[in-house]
Structure 1
């Protein structure tokens, strides 16, 4: 059998886009209407954006639902100039789709994802599994591994967790996250919030803030009550943002990492 190793190699366009052919069957829906149905998606990484998006051949898109955008945005999506509104029985979703100026991606259309941008298609599927926020990156790993390390967490100078049975979550490009059984966390110091986020690798997270006015951001703690099967060991365990708390592992204080989650009270994933 002949192999083609270059088929999955990343390409670079003069505009700074990275892209590669995808191999998953992808569908995108708005409500009950399937707008995209493709077995030939293309993964695209825009400059400075750590997560990919999908672009699809025109023939795999319900173009009868697209209208030239009445008010196309300027300076978004790597210089794109052609945008489309999505018309669903009179409901108009403005700037829900666009084409990239890159010659390599001519003939392809990309879509906004509601769970990421607040507009666009609200249900996406890879094969028969629903995914959220953005496509999964084939160059990224997420591993949840049970451990016996001694993990201690303090926030604002107060000890909030102490365990010898954490689950360590290793995710490419992010700090190790320490998921801790609830029995080993000072739950009396936590207050549930109405904040939730979605992750294509882990599922939907619920959040807590720290009581008592400590100098830490809100939504400091999260948990996945129903995680995806690949990270099942983290179910119902609690994790803290390493960026904002002090974590000691086996007696060794860990440096606080600096990431895009540092000192922010905005949406987190």
Structure 2
């Protein structure tokens, strides 16, 4: 979860509410300085490079990075005749991005008739995530979407008793799982391989990745499809669960201290907007050098 997506405070499905006397507007947009140098690469060249990026948080969307027009390389944006309209921010002007041997349509946009309250976005350009070759903070490539500073993960060791069953078969049992607390999600419980009946897990094709945890592999358990997952090489920030396995409580039976867990509502990750680009191939390219 971030500030405005999943179940965050500005999302349409927020699990909390503001303690105010009068109702808030149906939609709240929030813009803030990123305070990090961000760069965009396209067709072997830097199309944008700025330390003055503004993040726009829009309900039910991942944050979008807006670059000052002055920090976008001249000649790489080609105006398109088609425009659209944003309900709060006015006319949206679209651009193709043109490199040496490559041109991609509808790859960048700018708001040309901004209301006064959104002046912070004036003369700024955003780039469609999937249309670019890569986004970087300094020299490190970032994947998925611009980093949401309100997304947090905490991992805690515990001595609680966790049991996973497929019918009468005990798939996993442990008294030292770890709890992964991630903004906007109910706790996820991870189990060490030594506490799992490895014969019960059948690795299946199809991976996903999380910009905050890494590439996830999935397992069938008996007749239950994709009932468990593991980050086999989790990001260093969440190394405590690297190689450990978590189980989906709406697919197999997961008991915590004798209480059967259920999947809470709003826990499914769904695509949000043109800025999203969650593709496992992007993850495999993450370690590529910025200048290549």
**TM > 0.5:** yes
1:82-135 deviations in whole A, cap 9, x for unaligned? Answer: 111112224222211112444431111111222xxxxx1232222343321012
- In the superposition, relative to structure 1, how do residues 70 and 205 fare at CA in structure 2: closer, same or farther (>3 Å)? farther
- Find the partner of 2:37 among 14, 25, 41: 25
Structure 2 residue aligned with 1:197, among 180, 203, 208?
208
TM-score (norm 2): 0.72
Say yes or no: does 1:46 pair with 2:58.
Answer: yes
Contact 1:22–1:42, Cα closer than 8 Å, also in 2: yes
Aligned residue among 227, 230, 233 for 1:226: 233
Distance 2:123 2:270 in 1: 41
Distance 1:24 1:211, change over 3 A: same
Q: What are the ranges of 5 or more consecutive residues in structure 2 without an aligned counterpart?
A: 1-9, 11-23, 272-277, 281-292
The Cα of 1:41 is off from its aligned counterpart by 1.1
Match of 1:180 in 2: 191
Unaligned 5+ runs, structure 1? 1-9, 115-119
Residue 260 of structure 1 deviates from its aligned partner by: 4.6
For residue 165 of structure 1, what is the aligned residue in structure 2? Answer: 176
Change (3 A) 1:268 1:58: closer
In structure 2, which of residues 133, 141, 146 is the aligned counterpart of residue 130 of structure 1?
141
Tell me: CA distance 1:48–1:219, structure 2 relative to 1, closer, same or farther (3 Å): same
- 1:106 and 2:122 matched: yes
Quick one: structure 1 residues 88 and 245, their matched pair in 2 at CA, closer, same or farther if it must change by over 3 Å? farther
Contact kept, 8 Å, 2:216 with 2:229, in 1: the verdict is yes
Residues 1:240 and 2:252 are matched in the alignment: no
Determine the structure 2 residue equivalent to 1:34: 46
Higher RCO, 1 or 2 (CA under 8 Å, sep at least 6)? 2
Structure 2 Cα separation of the partners of residues 244 and 132 of structure 1: 29
CA contact (8 A) 1:206 1:222 kept: yes
Question: What displacement does 1:25 show?
Answer: 1.3
Distance in 2 between the 1:194 and 1:30 partners? 31
Tell me if the contact between 2:43 and 2:99 (Cα under 8 Å) persists in the aligned partners.
Answer: no
Query: Retained in 1: the 8 A contact 2:144–2:211?
Result: yes
Question: How many angstroms does 1:176 deviate by?
Answer: 0.9
Q: Tell me how many residue pairs correspond in the alignment.
A: 247
After superposition, what is the alpha-carbon deviation per residue over 1:216-248, rounded to whole angstroms, capped at 9, x for unaligned?
Answer: xx4342222222221111111112234544322
- CA–CA separation in structure 2 for the residues paired with 1:32 and 1:185: 46
* Aligned mates of 1:231, 1:113 — CA distance in 2: 24
Q: 1:251 to 1:133 in 2, by over 3 A?
A: same
Distance in 1 between residues matched to 2:87 and 2:182, nearest whole Å: 28
Cα RMSD (Å): 3.4
The answer as to whether partners of 2:97 and 2:103 remain within 8 angstroms in 1 is yes
Residues 261 and 158 from structure 1, CA distance in 2 versus in 1: closer, same or farther, beyond 3 angstroms? farther
